[in-house]
Amino acid sequence: MTLAEFERQIFAVAIDSSICDIPNVRYLTSTSISLRVSISLGGFIEAFYNERTGTMALALIREGQRVFGVDNTGGWHIHPFSDPARHDSLSTPMSFAEFVAQIEQQQVST
């Protein structure tokens, strides 16, 4: 995936989501991009992708702390809502759309 493809995916999902604001590109280099997406449920999502290494990280941040996340550093894993410091292995990657859906589902169940 290219940086432009990653950025397009984030924007497309955010625009279609009822909880996401318009993404803001925090930084862009020749090999990586970081976007921030404010959400109406409180906090924001940080989305990071490095094209050279294939590293991707998504994190829901509230009050300066990660409360939910997923990344592929050392293999795909999730940092669950119940214990965001924990690393639970994932058998498949999680897309930004799936990540946002998990946040929406968590809001419904709480």
Which residue type sits at 12? A
pTM for the model: 0.93
pLDDT at 41 (0 to 100): 84
The 3-class SS string of 25-82 reads: EEEECCCEEEEEEEECCCCEEEEEEECCCCEEEEEEEECCEEEEEEECCCCCEEECCC
> 47-96: per-residue pLDDT in tens?
999 999 999 999 999 999 999 999 999 899 999 999 999 999 999 999 99
> Could you give the percent of the chain with pLDDT greater than 70?
97
